[in-house]
Amino acid sequence: MPKSTWQTGVKAGATAVVAGSSAGTLSWVAYSYLMSQATAARGVIGRNVAKPPEADGVYSPGVPVPERWLRTTRYDVHLMIFGDSTAAGVGCVSAEEAPGVQIATRLADETGKRIRLSTKAIGGATSRGLSGQVDAMFVAGPPPDAAVILVGANDVTAKNSIRASARRLGNAVERLRKHDCAVVVGTCPDLGVVTAIPQPLRTVVRTWGLRLARAQAAATSAAGGHPVALADLLAPEFLAAPDRMFSSDHFHPSAAGYELAAIQIVPVLATALGMWHGGPLPDLPEVSEAAESRKLSTRMTASLNRFLWRRDARRRSPGRLDDLLAIEEASASRAQRIAE
């Protein structure tokens, strides 16, 4: 994602942060600070220009290596991947790590079908690019049987309108559904777990992303698709092991991170195709509890609750206060380890 998208997002974010202030100096300080944080974050995250591994082909149950697709190659389900760099697999080292491959192989193993995988996703794309990707699909041939769309993070960093971004996504889903294509959309993840983005910029980005995810889910459902809330995907695993879950650019997922996405997407996709036999699907959370626990307001509330608890305990039973404090501190320590 180019530096300019971060600058655009921060300008709007700074405006929101200082909107309630009448002090011009404070506004300039807040704006300058967020801009410096964006520059620092870009220095840490960098820009991954590596081309994702080529992963298209036909995947058979129990066979990790795909068969090259030719017009005479037999397949049962045509799966197409749309979206941005996460959909394309930026951050992966080899083809089998790509999210499309992980979804296709799991779908093949689950259904016993031969899955043809085609990837239309483009790194750096926003919801504006979905229309062109769907157009390219129609040019290439008939619509697929199933589609997975992963998009949203670039809309956040580009500070695109939430309503317009969701509407564009809904239009893409509707076009695919008109051709009886089962569509699953992985909504914008909770960017509050990307610790390479410093605070308070991370809070600005996170709030925008969660609002976009909710709008994406509504637009997807209205168009006949199936949203998958990926907000909790990165936590607590990503917070507990960022070196393993993030790729070398500290922003895109690694193979392990993409695997988590595939695990949550495949049951919904198989259900949409009428091929799921794994039982009822769980309701996925829209907000990462681990990231939520790191918010300043959450930490302040927890601190106030501990103060009130100790005060009431002292009033009720002064002689047992030390024992109660020991129990409370042990519980708080365990909670902190989980959050970290």
pLDDT in tens, 249-289: 666 776 677 888 898 899 999 999 999 876 665 555 555 45
What's the CA gap between 13 and 203, in Å, rounded? 10
Note if 85 is an active site residue. Answer: yes
Q: What is the pLDDT of residues 13-42, one digit of tens each?
A: 544 444 444 444 445 566 566 666 666 555
Q: What is the pLDDT of residues 111-167, one digit of tens each?
A: 999 999 999 999 889 999 999 999 999 998 899 999 999 999 888 878 889 999 999
What's the CA gap between 203 and 210, in Å, rounded? 11
Q: Which of 85, 118, 254, 288 is catalytic?
A: 85
Measured in degrees and rounded to the nearest 5, phi and psi for residue 105 equal -70, -40
Note if 155 is an active site residue. Answer: no
Q: Which of 165, 250, 252, 254 is catalytic?
A: 252
With cut-offs at 50, 70 and 90, classify the pLDDT of residue 325: low
- pTM of structure: 0.73
Q: Which of 27, 76, 221, 249 is catalytic?
A: 249
Element (H, E) at 271: helix 255-272
Q: Are 86 and 76 in contact (CB under 8 A)?
A: no
Share of the chain above pLDDT 90, in %: 39
Element (H, E) at 25: helix 24-45
What's the CA gap between 306 and 304, in Å, rounded? 5
Q: How are strands ordered across the β-sheet holding 146-150? A: 57-59, 115-119, 77-83, 146-150, 182-186, 226-228
